[in-house]
């Protein structure tokens, strides 16, 4: 994790790739396509089943003229060039096209496998999109990303921003993401803010929320919901709730908690006028 990400100097929108795509993500999606649909090229030969694939994609997707007398390598090179010149949204169009329209090549690799591999890459590279069925679907909105950025930037208390930045760092770490502790940090940010609002550093989140409820007319349902979230993540030994003991905690779980806690903190800051 780079210095700029660890300390919150890189905007959230540059960490979670929403309306952009860095070269690393684009290259890995190309590799996924090549490994799934053109594996024989690496062995130095091309089967008849794959002979027309580059030309077909150049024609049907990129709408480029295809010379039937050109070599396979020529079509392949042109296909790769066209792909690498794609804008971020055209790359998502491309992988959708591949997954949905190359059924005759499924003897080489099932489209479902390609989608699964793409989803692994999209998660590892912190893309805001995933395959759901045959469609690439947004799982994080611009509004949600702005909520995280606002919560990090507007708090007057460094400790709150530290917790949120750490939650984002643990979530976005490409080498060793820690979703469980990212969730803990998101909740800890809410806890720290509530303690500051009520002026009681030793209060638990539940105790602080009760006082916020009384002082600022916080809806009881919100107070109860976040008290339960705190119970999921905190005890004297750390994580305790069954949800947090699951081995299957994923990127989307930690992202949901980060977004939810950020939005709630923005709400509390407005309520209390910090």
Whether residue 9 is predicted with pLDDT greater than 80 in this model: the reply is: no
The mean per-residue pLDDT over the stretch 234-255 comes to: 63
CB neighbours of residue 130 within 10 Å: 18
Rounded distance, CA 176 to CA 69, Å?
A: 48
pLDDT at 40: 60
pLDDT one-digit tens code per residue, 138-160: 888 888 988 998 888 875 667 88
Region class of 8: left (phi > 0), else alpha (psi between -120 and 50), else beta: left
How would residue 236 be classed by pLDDT, with cut points 50, 70 and 90?
very low
Q: What is the mean pLDDT of the chain?
A: 82
Sign of CA dihedral 136, 150, 125, 240: negative
The mean per-residue pLDDT over the stretch 182-206 comes to: 90
Q: Name the percent of the chain lying above pLDDT 90.
A: 38
pLDDT one-digit tens code per residue, 19-64: 999 999 999 999 999 988 886 665 555 554 556 789 889 999 999 9
Torsion angle of C-alpha atoms 42, 43, 49, 51, degrees rounded to 10: 60
Rounded distance, CA 16 to CA 264, Å?
A: 20
How would residue 10 be classed by pLDDT, with cut points 50, 70 and 90?
low
The mean per-residue pLDDT over the stretch 100-124 comes to: 78
Rounded distance, CA 128 to CA 137, Å?
A: 9
The mean per-residue pLDDT over the stretch 66-81 comes to: 87
């Amino acid at each position: 994790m780079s210095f700029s990400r660890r300390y919150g100097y890189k905007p959230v929108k540059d960490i979670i790739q929403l309306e952009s795509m860095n070269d690393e993500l684009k290259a890995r999606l190309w590799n996924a396509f090549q490994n799934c649909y053109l594996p024989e090229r690496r062995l130095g030969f091309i089967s008849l089943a794959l002979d027309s694939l580059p030309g077909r994609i150049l024609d049907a997707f990129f709408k480029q003229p295809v010379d039937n007398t050109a070599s396979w390598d020529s079509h392949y090179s042109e296909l790769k060039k066209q792909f690498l010149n794609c804008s971020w949204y055209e790359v998502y169009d491309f992988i959708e096209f591949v997954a949905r329209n190359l059924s005759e090549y499924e003897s080489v690799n099932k489209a479902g496998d390609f989608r699964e591999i793409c989803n692994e890459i999209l998660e590892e590279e912190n893309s805001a999109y995933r395959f759901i069925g045959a469609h690439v679907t947004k799982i994080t909105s611009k509004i949600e990303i702005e909520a995280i950025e606002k919560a990090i930037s507007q708090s007057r208390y460094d400790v709150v921003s530290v917790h949120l930045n750490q939650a984002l760092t643990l979530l976005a770490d490409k080498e060793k993401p820690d979703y469980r502790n990212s969730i803990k940090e998101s909740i800890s940010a809410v806890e720290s803010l509530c303690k500051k609002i009520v002026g009681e550093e030793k209060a638990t989140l539940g105790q602080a929320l009760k006082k916020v409820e009384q002082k600022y007319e916080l809806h009881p349902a919100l107070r109860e919901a976040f008290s339960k979230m705190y119970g999921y993540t905190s005890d004297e030994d750390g994580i305790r709730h069954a949800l947090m003991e699951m081995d299957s905690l994923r990127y989307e779980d930690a992202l949901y908690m980060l977004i939810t806690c950020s939005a709630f903190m923005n709400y509390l800051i407005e309520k209390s006028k910090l």
